């Protein structure tokens, strides 16, 4: 069964999160993301809207976290034996040292907000939307020394490509603040870091960065790393003006996906394309979709000839290569073991200027790329009701129970019982 995309924009907060004033302030931002809110505002007072948003937020988190974590599957059942605790042969010492250095810059008050148990449900509380109430310490609240230490953690964990992409997402959020005139809920520094567990050579731990269009979950066990769920995106994807004019992201992810489709023989294109019409948002694995069931669809890799098969592998590697180089190689070895059971799925047109969605799915990786409807920049859109190349969401997941490294953590606890 293929899940139909959910086009609604949800608002979410932690139960101890924003005050009524915060909700009221955020309504303008929220309205930009949901056209129907404009109509609702005409008949409701700000306090009534705030209350409605509060209830929506509580209900969405309650619904999103109601079921225990299972993982993304094709049929509701996790395939066993895909992931194992074993030496990766790539040191995580630089990441551990960078995390310790960052922690050492924090005050006791900041530490209390930033440190969580390694198995805390807070891992699963992430959302792309800019009005989401986040935990941890934000770059806006960091002094220069703390900010540099946070960059050090990111640099140690990510490749040069991955670090620059993340920084450019943050910069483009500043461009969005300039274009929309909202510097309260948008901007370069509204990104938060949380630490899970205690940085260790042997015990599980990790860190998370989250903010508008950038969520990185980074789990570490020994020398093994799992860096999913990963969310990367932007609106706009190219800065037309302002402080960061000319910065552009996710063009290779866009163009290489389209070139792969266009390189396929006609019969294989027909298999890959589910629908040539793309009218809304199609991503299936964004926030609170940890257990979504998505069957394989489209074109299976074992049908591909050498050059197009290599194109698909290169496309996967483009996303995986946001990790540090050593762990990216380890992940690609895992991907290669399941390359024959990897599927490529497409929604949308195949012209040079088309908007589209594509998905790459195997037992050990899922990648989604989606041209989204205009949200915060609706007023600038030629047609606010149609997806645009200026708003892109990409998600990378580890199906079958190992998002957030949870299957490795489960196995670790079986071998080393912990009290929680």
| 11 closest CA partner among 122, 112, 131, 94 | 131
Q: Say which residue the tokens 């070139």 belong to.
A: 259
By CB atoms closer than 10 A (0-12, 13-18, 19+), residue 362 is buried
Which of 311, 217, 325 is CA-nearest to residue 261? 311
219 has a pLDDT exceeding 70: yes
- Number of separate helices (H) and strands (E) present in the chain: 12, 13
| Alpha-carbon distances, residue 202 vs 85, 153, 411, 418 (angstroms) | 12, 19, 14, 14
44-48, 141-145, 239-243, 363-367: segment of lowest average pLDDT: 44-48
Question: Which contiguous run of DSSP H or E holds residue 165?
Answer: helix 160-180
Distance CA(224)–CA(49), nearest Å, equals 46
Q: Give the model's confidence band at 46: pLDDT under 50 very low, under 70 low, under 90 confident, else very high.
A: very low
Which DSSP string do the residues of 79-103 spell out, in sequence order?
A: PTTS------SS--HHHHHHHHHHH
Instruction: Report which of 71, 26, 127 is spatially closest to residue 405, judged by C-alpha positions.
Output: 71
Comparing 43-52, 136-145, 300-309, 356-365, which segment has the lowest mean pLDDT? 43-52
CA triple 132-5-81, angle to 5 deg: 85
Q: How far apart are CA 65 and CA 284, in angstroms?
A: 16
Q: Which residues contact 87 (CB under 8 A, 6 or more apart)?
A: 222, 223
Q: What's the pTM value of the predicted model, to 2 decimals?
A: 0.88
d(CA 6, CA 63): 15
Over the chain, what is the mean pLDDT?
Answer: 88
- For the chain, the maximum distance between any two Cα atoms, rounded to a whole number of angstroms, is 62
Segment 97-111, tens digit of pLDDT: 999 999 999 999 999
Give the tens place of pLDDT for each residue, 28-42.
333 334 443 334 434
pLDDT above 90 as % of the chain: 80
CA distance to 168, 180, 247, 287, 376, per residue, from 242 (Å): 14, 12, 10, 30, 17
Of 179, 199, 177, nearest to 103 by C-alpha is: 199
pLDDT tens column, 181-216: 888 789 999 999 999 999 999 999 999 999 999 999
CA distance 92 to 96: 6
Provide the pLDDT for residue 34. Answer: 42
pLDDT band at 306; cut points 50, 70, 90:
very high
- The pLDDT value recorded for residue 405 is 98
Confidence of residue 59 (pLDDT cuts 50, 70, 90): confident
The whole-number pLDDT of residue 43 equals 60
With 0-12 / 13-18 / 19 or more C-beta atoms within 10 angstroms meaning exposed / middle / buried, residue 414 is exposed
Reduced to 3 states, what is the DSSP secondary structure of residue 120? Answer: coil
For residues 390 and 383, give the distance between their C-alpha atoms in angstroms, rounded to a whole number: 12
């Amino acid at each position: 069964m293929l899940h139909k995309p959910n086009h609604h924009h949800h608002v979410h907060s932690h139960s101890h999160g924003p005050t009524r004033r915060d909700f009221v302030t955020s309504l303008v931002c929220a309205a930009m993301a949901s056209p129907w809110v404009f109509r609702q505002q005409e008949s409701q007072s700000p306090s009534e809207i705030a209350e409605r948003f509060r209830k929506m937020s509580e209900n969405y988190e309650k619904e999103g976290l109601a079921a225990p974590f299972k993982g993304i599957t094709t049929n509701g059942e996790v395939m066993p034996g895909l992931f194992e605790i074993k030496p990766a042969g790539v040191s995580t010492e630089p990441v551990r040292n960078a995390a310790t250095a960052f922690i050492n810059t924090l005050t006791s008050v900041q530490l209390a907000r930033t440190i969580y148990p390694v198995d805390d449900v807070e891992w699963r509380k992430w959302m792309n939307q800019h009005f989401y109430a986040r935990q941890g310490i934000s770059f806006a609240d960091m002094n220069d020394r703390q900010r540099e230490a946070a960059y050090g953690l990111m640099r140690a964990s990510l490749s040069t490509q991955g670090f620059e992409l993340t920084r450019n997402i943050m910069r483009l959020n500043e461009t969005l603040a300039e274009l929309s005139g909202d510097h309260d809920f948008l901007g370069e520094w509204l990104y938060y870091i949380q630490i899970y567990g205690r940085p260790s050579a042997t015990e599980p731990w990790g860190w998370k960065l989250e903010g508008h269009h950038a969520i990185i979950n980074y789990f570490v066990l020994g020398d093994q790393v799992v860096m999913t769920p990963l969310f990367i995106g932007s609106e706009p994807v190219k800065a037309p003006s302002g402080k960061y004019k000319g910065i552009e992201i996710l063009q290779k992810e866009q163009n290489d996906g389209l070139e792969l489709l266009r390189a396929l023989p006609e019969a294989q294109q027909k298999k890959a394309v589910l629908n040539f019409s793309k009218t809304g948002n199609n991503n299936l694995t964004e926030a609170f979709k940890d257990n979504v069931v998505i069957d394989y669809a489209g074109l299976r890799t074992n049908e591909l000839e050498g050059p197009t098969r290599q194109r698909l592998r290169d496309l996967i590697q483009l996303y995986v290569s946001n990790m540090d180089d050593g762990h990216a190689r380890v992940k690609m070895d895992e991907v290669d073991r399941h390359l024959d059971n990897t599927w490529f799925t497409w929604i949308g047109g195949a012209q040079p200027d088309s908007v589209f969605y594509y998905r790459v799915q195997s037992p050990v990786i899922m990648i989604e790329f989606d041209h989204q409807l205009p949200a915060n920049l609706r007023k600038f859109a030629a047609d606010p009701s149609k997806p645009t190349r200026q708003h892109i969401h990409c998600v990378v997941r580890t199906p079958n129970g190992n998002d957030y490294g949870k299957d490795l953590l489960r196995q670790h606890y079986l071998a080393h019982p912990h009290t929680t």
